[in-house]
Amino acid sequence: MAKPIEKMGADEILVISRKLFYGGFCLLPLLWVYNILYIWPVRNRADLSPLVRRYLLLSGILAAMLFVYFSVWYGVFVKERLNWGARGDLLTVVLVKGV
Amino acid sequence: MDATRSGTRRMLRRLVMGLAAFCTLTTAQDSYDAVYNDIGSLPCVRLLNATGAIGCQSLNAASGVLYRTDTLADIQHFASDHDLKNKYTVVMPYWLLTSSNVETLRSTDKLSAIIAVVNGTDAAHTVAARPATINSPDSKCPNCEFGLYANTPNQYQWNPTGTDLLSQQFDFPIYALNTMDDRNIMSYNAVIQAVNINRFKGYSSYPLKSLQFHSFMWAAQDTGTCLRKGWCTPVGGASVWSTPSLNISSSDNKPIVVISAAMDSRSLFHDLTLGVESSITGMVTVLAVAEALSRSSIPLDTMQKHILYTLFTAEAWGFSGSQRFVQDISSPVNCIKPPASGSGCTYPFFSDLDFQHINPANIDIILEAGQVGGITSPAGGSPTLYAHIDNLQPTASAALLTQIVQVGSGALGNTTTPPATNAAVPVQAANGDGTQRGLPPSSAMSFLKARATIPTVVLTDYQKQMSSFTSQDLDDTWDPVNTVNAIQQAASVISKTAWMQAQGVSDATLMTPAQQQAIGSIQVNVQLVQDLLLCLTRNYSCPLIDGYLNVTASPSPPTRLPHYAGTLYSQSQPFSIFAWNFLANVTSVKGVTQNATGVPPPQVTGCSSRSETVQCTSDQFCVGDQCIQTMTRYHDAFGVGLGMAEDNSYFIKDASKPTWTESTWDPVGLRLFDVTSPGSQGGELAAGIVLTIVSIVLVVFGRRFLKKTLKVD
């Protein structure tokens, strides 16, 4: 069984937080969300490097920005994809019959 | 020992599982049969063009309690009755299916589907119950947007009372009932019985009879979208052209006399499309002309001009058949991919290239038979035939018009006197009243669009207004006397005019005595006209067609077949096949032309009945059990706005030209079942929920109890 976060050393947490933060740039934005959720219980530990808090903050901002971006894109896509013709079909994974 | 035992056990297990599966299947089928009654269906389907869609679509499986409306008052009563709380399937006579009535029903929010009864045995559904005047559901000028006068301001409206129902879009199912055969009589009886039970119960005492519909159409938006996704197929079929001149060539400089008609028509329910007046009368006329001319005592292939019969398909869809034919004969074929074997071309696709023998520049005159059956609503008196000419180039056709009227008046001396029993149907110039209306919607327009100066006459039974049966599902009857007379006269006038033209005679009075004598051999066979009318409408297995196609050999010989063009390459073309065989037979060389030694060529028979021993040579066809040589060919017909790519997919080539496609559908069907009252449906749901909760509680407590008493973990 993996070590719970509470029992990890400050260095270990810093390494994990940094990995999750940079990992998010590999088109894996959920890692940012995971970063916040995972580190959240120990965020205020005194021995933690201030870098961890910065990673969490940046992860949160990026995740929120992407959330807004994807929501807007989803709305536009659902509303407009039928009007985009062949390009719209190309962007659609499952073509819905009858519409 | 062990192996045998496990083998036996496995077998036993399989047996038990098989039995269990069998039991579930039978009970499922049994309970399905107890709940549902599947009914044969005649649906309205979705069609698309470059700019939009028409016809019916239902995204969800609709179902509704059957409700009967026999009159306009019933519909209004349905709309205003606030005690009706359900969704309803409205059963009405076909003639009540008008745009305004449909809108009234749709706006109530109580409508789930419509069933239109075209013909029925119930008093409200008989012919006698129909109003005297029924309007055509086609547009005010059918297909005129693709016709000769599309760009002419204020073009004449040939169908002014047309309701344009056919071009509307319905987002709920519409089905037809028609007592035309045993299967459909059963469907009709089941639905009428059910709706009568509902009416008897006042639509309020449950259980009531309900109908569920499946008519999900894949295609949406327009032709471009659905073709791209592969969810629709072009509307089209096979046109047929035929000439007695086996040696016709594009360089022989011999003028061509074209005799033309359409083979298909349209209506709301494609399974019911007959179009007796809309197109069959014209088709019968051309076939009768071909038969009459085949008896000419002067062989047709020795005349000064070629005779070319053309029967076009998909004409009801923007003159697709004639426009494609004209387009193909007018431009040289650039065959990029020749076929591995045989004739034609693989890409662009042509099954044969013999149409290149027809030089469009040689087309000398066009004679077309439109609606010539004199079938109108309200039923009129004896018909008159009108000869229409183009009003943009009126001088080009003036002489031909005079000749047609002259021939129609019986001015050819005693040889052309019609049988004394029937009064001759008069033939008049349509512009005789001084109004130049131009040509009515016709295939000839496609030729004139390419070259406007071809002398052209279109013969119809109307002067100012098309029959109100145009594009009707009700266009399924004719007058046994008037219709046959009118067709006979039309065929007679066209055949004699064509014969004289082919002889180079433009005035009957200038014929030589030999010609006077010879034209007497052209007599239209009235019996043939009657047979053709019956064969092409109600009985495809009639002796005439059976003689060519041996249809009665099939386990269920076809009777009434629809005249909707169908979808390209995916549906059989029974009328094109018959027309091909008939024209091939009457235009073929059979003893009339003698070979060099003066002996008629030997006739080979038995190619169909004894196909294993008798085989025709490669340049011959087997028609009616006889090997013949003929210049009769099919020609693909589909909208010229569409193109076919190398991978056999279709695309829009020119959105301003016809681009009609039919949507692909899931299997359509309707089934009858009992529906309980909304209250008891709620009760059933509540009982189900209570039962589920009780069983959960029982399981939980039961487990706890068992654990405690048996002391197991």
So where are chain A's domains?
8-90
User: pLDDT tens digits for B29-81?
Assistant: 777 777 787 787 899 999 999 999 999 998 887 899 999 999 999 999 999 99
What is the band of B11 on the pLDDT scale with cuts at 50, 70, 90? low
Least confident piece of the model among A81-90, B645-654, B685-694: A81-90
Contact A98 B221 (CB under 8 A): no
Query: B183 and chain A: CB distance < 8 Å anywhere?
Result: no
Asked if the model's pLDDT at residue B3 lies above 70, the reply is no
Which own/partner pairs from B30-35 qualify as long-range (CB within 8 Å, at least 24 positions apart)? B35/B673, B35/B674
For residues B432 and B426, the answer to whether their CB atoms sit within 8 Å is: no
What residues contact B368, with CB distance under 8 A and at least 6 apart? Answer: B259, B260, B261, B282, B442, B443, B444, B456, B457, B458, B459
Nearest chain A residue to B663 by CA distance is: A98
| A residues 26-85 lying closer than 8 A (beta carbon) to B | 82, 85
> How far is B340 from B397, CA to CA, in rounded Å?
46
User: pLDDT tens digits for B80-137?
Assistant: 999 898 899 999 999 999 999 999 999 999 999 999 999 999 999 998 899 988 899 9
Asked if the model's pLDDT at residue B516 lies above 70, the reply is yes
Residue at A3: amino acid letter: K
Alpha helices in chain A (DSSP H): 10-23, 30-39, 50-80, 86-91
Q: Quick one: pLDDT at residue B16?
A: 57
**Residue A98: which of B59, B224, B228 has the nearest Cβ?**
B59
The listed range with the strongest mean pLDDT (B343-347, B576-580, B607-611) is B576-580
Nearest chain B residue to A81 by CA distance is: B225
Query: B61 and chain A: CB distance < 8 Å anywhere?
Result: no
For residues B369 and B440, the answer to whether their CB atoms sit within 8 Å is: no
Q: Quick one: pLDDT at residue B13?
A: 59
Query: A93 and chain B: CB distance < 8 Å anywhere?
Result: no
**Residue B216: which of A86, A89, A98 has the nearest Cβ?**
A98
Asked if the model's pLDDT at residue B367 lies above 70, the reply is yes
User: Which pTM value belongs to this model?
Assistant: 0.88
Q: How far is B25 from chain A (nearest CA, A)?
A: 31
Other CB atoms within a 10 A radius of the CB of residue B436 amount to: 14
Contact A82 B221 (CB under 8 A): yes
Q: Quick one: pLDDT at residue B21?
A: 54
The three-class DSSP label of residue B174 is strand
Q: Quick one: pLDDT at residue B415?
A: 44
Q: Quick one: pLDDT at residue B595?
A: 46
Least confident piece of the model among B33-37, B245-249, B681-685: B33-37
Please give the residue that has the higher pLDDT: either B292 or B24.
B292
What is the band of B5 on the pLDDT scale with cuts at 50, 70, 90? low
Please give the residue that has the higher pLDDT: either B261 or B612.
B261
- Of B351, B366, B240, the C-alpha closest to B305 is B366
Give the whole-number percent of chain B exceeding pLDDT 70.
Answer: 92
User: pLDDT tens digits for B139-163?
Assistant: 999 999 999 999 998 899 999 999 9
Alpha-carbon dihedral angle through residues B331, B335, B339, B344, given to the nearest 10 degrees: 10
> How far is B225 from A85, CA to CA, in rounded Å?
7
Alpha-carbon dihedral angle through residues B162, B165, B168, B172, given to the nearest 10 degrees: 170
Place of tokens 């040509």: B439
Indicate the pairing of strand B174-178 with strand B42-43: antiparallel
Q: How far is B215 from chain A (nearest CA, A)?
A: 11
Asked if the model's pLDDT at residue B711 lies above 50, the reply is yes
Give the whole-number percent of chain B exceeding pLDDT 90.
Answer: 74
**Residue B220: which of A86, A89, A98 has the nearest Cβ?**
A98
Asked if the model's pLDDT at residue B361 lies above 60, the reply is yes
Q: What angle do CA B638, B389, B454 make, to 5 degrees?
A: 65
> How far is B87 from B81, CA to CA, in rounded Å?
13
Residue at B534: amino acid letter: L
Contact A97 B221 (CB under 8 A): no
Residue at B590: amino acid letter: K
Query: A94 and chain B: CB distance < 8 Å anywhere?
Result: no
Q: Quick one: pLDDT at residue B424?
A: 82
The three-class DSSP label of residue B413 is helix
Structure tokens at B552: 């009665």
Alpha-carbon dihedral angle through residues B438, B440, B446, B449, given to the nearest 10 degrees: 20
Q: Quick one: pLDDT at residue B428?
A: 94
Place of tokens 């390419």: B450
**Residue B57: which of A86, A95, A98 has the nearest Cβ?**
A98
The three-class DSSP label of residue B346 is coil
User: pLDDT tens digits for B550-577?
Assistant: 999 999 999 999 999 999 998 889 999 9
Q: In which element (H, E) is residue B284 found?
A: helix B281-294
Q: How far is B28 from chain A (nearest CA, A)?
A: 29
Q: What is B236-592+619-638's CATH superfamily?
A: Zn peptidases (3.40.630.10)
In the sheet where B37-39 sits, what is the strand order? B37-39, B669-675, B208-214, B63-68, B88-93, B111-119, B174-178, B42-43
Contact B220 A99 (CB under 8 A): yes
Nearest chain A residue to B227 by CA distance is: A86
C-alpha B289: how far from its chain's center? 22
Contact A89 B229 (CB under 8 A): yes
Q: Quick one: pLDDT at residue B420?
A: 41
Q: How far is A94 from chain B (nearest CA, A)?
A: 11
Q: Residue B378: is the preceding peptide bond cis (ω within 30°)? A: yes
**Residue A97: which of B224, B228, B231 has the nearest Cβ?**
B231
User: Any idea where the domains of chain B sit in the sequence?
Assistant: 37-223+665-675, 236-592+619-638, 685-713
Please give the residue that has the higher pLDDT: either B100 or B602.
B100
Q: Quick one: pLDDT at residue B613?
A: 82
Place of tokens 């659902």: A78
| B residues 216-245 lying closer than 8 A (beta carbon) to A | 216-221, 224-225, 228-229, 231
**Which chain A residues touch B57 with a CB distance below 8 Å?**
98
Asked if the model's pLDDT at residue B17 lies above 60, the reply is no
> How far is A28 from A41, CA to CA, in rounded Å?
23
What is the band of B591 on the pLDDT scale with cuts at 50, 70, 90? very low
Q: Quick one: pLDDT at residue B288?
A: 97
Query: What mean pLDDT is predicted for residues A22-38?
Result: 93
Determine which of B57, B225, B227, B232 to mutate to test the interface with A (most A C-beta atoms within 10 Å): B225
**Residue A98: which of B218, B224, B228 has the nearest Cβ?**
B218
Query: B113 and chain A: CB distance < 8 Å anywhere?
Result: no
Determine which of A95, A96, A97 to mutate to test the interface with B (most B C-beta atoms within 10 Å): A97
User: pLDDT tens digits for B450-509?
Assistant: 999 999 999 999 999 999 999 999 999 999 999 999 999 999 999 999 999 999 998 888
Please give the residue that has the higher pLDDT: either B421 or B705.
B705
**Which chain B residues touch A85 with a CB distance below 8 Å?**
224-225, 228
Query: What mean pLDDT is predicted for residues B13-26?
Result: 55
**Which chain A residues touch B219 with a CB distance below 8 Å?**
98
Q: Taking all residues of chain B, what is their mean pLDDT, rounded to a whole number? A: 90
Q: Quick one: pLDDT at residue B19?
A: 55
Q: How far is CA B4 from CA B9, B18, B308, B647, in A?
A: 9, 21, 80, 57
Query: What mean pLDDT is predicted for residues B230-259?
Result: 95
